[in-house]
Amino acid sequence: MKIGIIGLGLIGGSLGLCLKNEKLISCVSGMDANKEHQQKALELGLVHEILTLEEMKRKSDIIFLAIPVEAIIKIVKELEDIDEDTTIIDLGSTKEKIIEAVPEKIRRNFIPAHPMAGTEYSGPTAAFSGLFNGAVVAICDFKESSEKHVKRSVELFSHLGMKITFMSAKEHDHHASVISHLPHAISFSLASSVLKKENKKNIIALSGTGFNGMIRIAKSSPVMWSDIFKQNKDNLINAIDMFKKELDECENLVKNEKWDELKDWMSEARKIREIL
Amino acid sequence: MKIGIIGLGLIGGSLGLCLKNEKLISCVSGMDANKEHQQKALELGLVHEILTLEEMKRKSDIIFLAIPVEAIIKIVKELEDIDEDTTIIDLGSTKEKIIEAVPEKIRRNFIPAHPMAGTEYSGPTAAFSGLFNGAVVAICDFKESSEKHVKRSVELFSHLGMKITFMSAKEHDHHASVISHLPHAISFSLASSVLKKENKKNIIALSGTGFNGMIRIAKSSPVMWSDIFKQNKDNLINAIDMFKKELDECENLVKNEKWDELKDWMSEARKIREIL
């Protein structure tokens, strides 16, 4: 089986590293709009070769889209003439807008998937082979894709050690807005407010593991995340409003010196320990 | 040298483990209002022995206060008759209210310190000897303490591998509200809103390392943190308001579809990478 990967950053590059180790995969080809990334990916051995889009379309059994979600929307138009046996797997963090953009002709080739894997680093040098092992991958609206392409993607993801979960694109975008996109909006806001109010010396002196954990994802790629916020705008706004109500609740308990109620409220929040 | 530790949870227990390894320390005594914690601390070898407060006051060269900040305010009254050679080191996360509560007679014995070390776990079973190694400790208002007690605490903290930073209690409480207390308020609020809006299955399915990092500190002790919020009320409210302005900025950029400005705003926030 021959694989093509469009986008050789953290996600695409890590995928290349994993797939090159799979015995049933004979060739992993890559491409990236950034020529330096292409060169780096070859040097790092993330892929066997670099192809043009047209070459990749002809050669590959599966093409992965591992680029920012707005770029996915653009590139799917160029895949319209793909062979019906070729599987296209999109790895974007949003689903509804991407599915809307897929040309009708290739909708059954198309598997909308979201691997819950990433770090705050980006680009080919951030890639590592362990990224996907044990991570969840959501496969969305699978009934709209051909059975052949669903089976192929399920086999491939499970061989990479991933935990597959099926859900609708609508559900995915709603849940992801709360559990993934909102935390990014919060982390960027926290980093931004601390940078405005504190000098470097105090940040370094007083930051412990707690603060570091809270601002880690603010180090993520602005291109990738502004795209995600754009595509999941309405869900994200609802999630932010819901969070602001909780933060207001906390602030009001402090303002009104309701210390016992504050402790109870914290104890409720702390029940997240029973889940994660 | 003989050490007494009041409070045998994560902080006091970890301190006991470290200090028992120091050659110049002949005995580490402990006490805890929770009798089960006392027993557990002995079983785990966190301290050599359990003493009453009166016994500890007579025996120790240094007494550490490793209890919630409201409990520190209560117990300092009972230390008023301590010998002038005994050092009292408070390890609470707030400073101004604690210093106000210290009886004048023992103010020069008293070292207000804040180790930037902790995990989301609590109690003696959470203790481990590596907790303080490499962590920053802020020593506040040191000119109000006797030189003898300052030197002793500096020597001891540095022997534990800690990085010492001096600052005023007022500065400490302001900076800590932004860099430590605000992130806790945010994490509790995020955990609380996600628990209200999402079911267990979706949280488990979609949470990645990003979400886990953001809600880790919401697993912290509500007793400890409601006390801290109480003692640093005004600074915390200012910090929350400042953060809310940033989050509003983010939300407004999304609402108004200012995608380029959103990317720029994220890029500014991401400059935290240059510091941490």
Query: What type of residue is A95?
Result: K
What band does B156 get if pLDDT is binned at 50, 70 and 90? Answer: very high
How far apart, in whole angstroms, are the C-alpha atoms of residue A61 and residue A2? 5
What band does A225 get if pLDDT is binned at 50, 70 and 90? Answer: very high
Check if the beta carbon of residue B164 is closer than 8 Å to that of residue A206.
Answer: no
The pLDDT tens digits for B189-203 are 999 999 998 888 889
Mean pLDDT on B225-233: 97
Write the CA distances from B5 to A214, B116, B260, integer angstroms. 31, 18, 55
Check pLDDT > 90 for residue A90: yes
The pLDDT tens digits for B16-29 are 999 998 988 999 99
Check pLDDT > 90 for residue A94: yes
Distance (Å) from the C-alpha of residue B72 to the closest C-alpha of chain A? Answer: 17
Query: In this complex, which of A180, A206, A223 lies closest to B116 when CB atoms are compared?
Result: A206
Contact A205 B138 (CB under 8 A): yes
Check if the beta carbon of residue A81 is closer than 8 Å to that of residue A21.
Answer: no
Nearest CA in chain A to B227: A259
Check if the beta carbon of residue B132 is closer than 8 Å to that of residue B110.
Answer: no
Answer left, alpha or beta for residue A220, where phi above 0 means left and psi between -120 and 50 means alpha. beta
Query: In this complex, which of A186, A204, A262 lies closest to B229 when CB atoms are compared?
Result: A262
Determine the residue among A175, A181, A256 to mutate to test chain B binding: the one whose Cβ has the most chain B Cβ atoms within 10 Å: A175
What band does A248 get if pLDDT is binned at 50, 70 and 90? Answer: very high
The pLDDT tens digits for B233-266 are 999 999 999 999 999 999 999 999 999 999 999 9
- Beta strand A136-140 with A163-167 is parallel
The residue to which tokens 């603010």 are assigned: A218
Give contacts of A236 with chain B, Cβ < 8 Å. Answer: 254
Check if the beta carbon of residue B70 is closer than 8 Å to that of residue B43.
Answer: no
Contact B229 A272 (CB under 8 A): no
Contact B179 A198 (CB under 8 A): yes
What percent of chain B stands above pLDDT 70? 100
Distance (Å) from the C-alpha of residue B121 to the closest C-alpha of chain A? Answer: 10
How far apart, in whole angstroms, are the C-alpha atoms of residue A207 and residue B117? 9
Write the CA distances from B209 to A134, A162, B94, B217, integer angstroms. 12, 15, 30, 14
Check pLDDT > 90 for residue A99: yes
- CA-nearest of A79, A84, A64 to A153 is A64
H runs (alpha helix) in B140-199: 147-159, 169-176, 182-197
What band does A202 get if pLDDT is binned at 50, 70 and 90? Answer: confident
Query: What domains lie within chain A, and their CATH numbers?
Result: 2-167 (3.40.50.720), 172-274 (1.10.3660.10)
pLDDT recorded at residue B233:
98
- CA-nearest of B129, B123, B104, B113 to B72 is B113
Mean pLDDT on A241-253: 98
Distance (Å) from the C-alpha of residue A56 to the closest C-alpha of chain B? Answer: 31
- Beta strand B2-6 with B27-31 is parallel
Give contacts of A220 with chain B, Cβ < 8 Å. Answer: 270
ipTM, two decimals, is 0.92
Nearest CA in chain A to B202: A175
pLDDT recorded at residue A201:
87
The pLDDT tens digits for A131-182 are 999 999 999 999 999 999 999 999 999 999 999 999 999 999 999 999 999 9
pTM (2 d.p.): 0.92
Check pLDDT > 90 for residue A204: no
In the beta sheet, which residues pair with residue B163? B136
% helix, strand, coil for chain A, step of 5: 60, 15, 30
How far apart, in whole angstroms, are the C-alpha atoms of residue B271 and residue B276? 9
Answer left, alpha or beta for residue B189, where phi above 0 means left and psi between -120 and 50 means alpha. alpha
Mean pLDDT on A124-133: 96
Query: In this complex, which of B119, B200, B259 lies closest to A226 when CB atoms are compared?
Result: B259
Check pLDDT > 90 for residue A205: no
Give contacts of A162 with chain B, Cβ < 8 Å. Answer: none
Determine the residue among A230, A244, A263, A264 to mutate to test chain B binding: the one whose Cβ has the most chain B Cβ atoms within 10 Å: A263
Give contacts of A272 with chain B, Cβ < 8 Å. Answer: 191, 194-195, 203, 215, 218-219
The CB density around residue B150, as the number of other CB atoms within 10 Å, is 18
Mean pLDDT on B149-166: 96
Distance (Å) from the C-alpha of residue B233 to the closest C-alpha of chain A? Answer: 6
Q: What is the mean pLDDT of chain A?
A: 96
- CA-nearest of A115, A139, A133, A112 to A11 is A115
Q: What is the SS3 assignment for B138?
A: strand
